Amino acid sequence: MEHISLTPFGRQPMTARLIHSQQLAQAPAPQGSADKWAILRDLTAARVAFCVSDRALAVLAALLSFHPDAELRDGGQLVVHPSNASLCDRAHGMAESTLRRHLSALVKAGLLARRDSPNGKRFAARGSSGQVQAVFGFDLRPLLVRAPEIAAKADDARAAALKLKRTREAVVMLLRDASKLAAWGREEMGGNWDALEDAIRLAQRSTRRRLQLAELEELRETSADLLGQVKARLKVLETQNTHGTDAQNERHYQNSKKDSYESEPCLEEQEVSAVRPTEPPLPLGLVLKAVPEIALYAPDPLRSWHDLIRVADIVRPMIGISPDAFAEAQRIMGPEVAAIVVAYILQRLDTIARPGGYLRSLSAKAAEGAFSPGPMVMSLLRSETSKAA
């Protein structure tokens, strides 16, 4: 019976890792065959778990190219015996010293097993009739034996990479929202935003580094907290501004009584002027970010409140809002706010059973001065942020 050597040639000592790789080469394979390139792809994804570099995998790809079949089959000839010169050529001109180092790393990782000849050369020994009797080189059988393990670790690595990517995306979106809302708050509402904006910029600089998952999750919590602070401050400032507007309206109404002898407006007109805003209560960009669905029905990009009002009138009959209900909302709320409400209903159409009745109920609240579109827009923004997180 022919003896197959299990020890390395020359001065290389026998180690526990070499014994392990030899055992893998002789262990029963859990599956009869496996695609060699699929194994290489999985190993590329899981290379960190097997402690091999991308250069070592380039050497392994070169070795696999010397195997004639697309699959590694149990019981087949799995020993390849290319020379170092041939391997260097297929490894895109890699230096021979580098090649030997990466071959050793693949053996230590238990992905290859050595089948060294008495003189250390790699070749196929043939008999007098030309039939192959023994092959000396690198045994690929450990790859076949460990194919299920490699595939499982590759799935874990891909899942971890996807989670890292999604966490990073969430951090970027949270910080982007916090930064832009803070800039809008400074421009539209005033106040001192320096400390909050500095904290946001500091967090944004952290995303330039290659962060681990734990660091990204911590940064996501920080980013969500910063966005919450921005929204809370906007809500406070919006309330203060609303109170200031009410006081201005009240002073204006008292002064207008001096000229009451010239014309006496009807009661209905007085009620509408008390609740209808004189200008849109929110920036158009913020509204469109909260209700992106309505832009799908616009023939052109929405650049003004007039565009939004026109598209809301187009969408209105599609979602079951009558002309009377929409006209009443425009009269009480104002055309801009009525358009915001229609866009909100379209965005939440799956949860609003009767859009027409919903609009009429909001119109009734607006007539009593108990409705503002700000909270509904902010609720949509919060829900989008929570989905991203």
Q: Looking at the predicted structure, is the pLDDT value of residue 62 above 70?
A: yes
Q: Looking at the predicted structure, is the pLDDT value of residue 63 above 90?
A: yes
Residue-level pLDDT at 121: 78
Q: Are 343 and 362 in contact (CB under 8 A)?
A: no
pLDDT tens readout for residues 280-293: 567 888 889 888 98
**How much is the average pLDDT of 213-234?**
90
Residue-level pLDDT at 387: 63
Share of the chain above pLDDT 70, in %: 77
How many other CB atoms are found less than 10 A from the CB of residue 351?
A: 7
- For tokens 């970010």, the residue is 289
37: enclosing H helix or E strand: helix 36-45
Q: Are 269 and 216 in contact (CB under 8 A)?
A: no
Return the higher-pLDDT residue of 268 and 313. 313
Q: Looking at the predicted structure, is the pLDDT value of residue 128 above 70?
A: no
Q: Give the torsion sign (CA, 10, 66, 34, 104).
A: positive
The ranges assigned to domains in the chain are 16-145, 159-256, 277-389
pLDDT tens readout for residues 308-318: 999 999 889 88
User: Quick one: three-class SS letters along 61-81?
Assistant: HHHHHCCCCCEEECCCCCEEC
Instruction: Round to whole Å and give the CA distance between 385 and 31.
Output: 46
- Mean of all residue pLDDT scores within the chain: 80
Q: Are 377 and 285 in contact (CB under 8 A)?
A: no
pLDDT tens readout for residues 326-350: 999 999 989 999 999 999 999 888 8
Q: Is 329 in a helix, a strand, or coil?
A: helix
pLDDT band, residue 167 (cuts 50/70/90) = very high
Is this model's pTM higher than 0.75 or not? no
Instruction: Round to whole Å and give the CA distance between 306 and 235.
Output: 26
**How much is the average pLDDT of 70-82?**
87
SS3 percent helix, strand, coil of the chain, rounded to 5, is 65, 5, 30
Instruction: Round to whole Å and give the CA distance between 81 and 225.
Output: 60
One-letter amino acid identity for 379? S
Residue-level pLDDT at 117: 74
Return the higher-pLDDT residue of 293 and 116. 293
> At residue 54, what are phi and psi to the nearest 5 degrees?
-65, -30
Q: Looking at the predicted structure, is the pLDDT value of residue 1 above 80?
A: no
Q: Is 266 exposed, middle or buried (0-12, 13-18, 19+ CB in 10 A)?
A: exposed
pLDDT band, residue 298 (cuts 50/70/90) = confident
Q: Are 332 and 276 in contact (CB under 8 A)?
A: yes
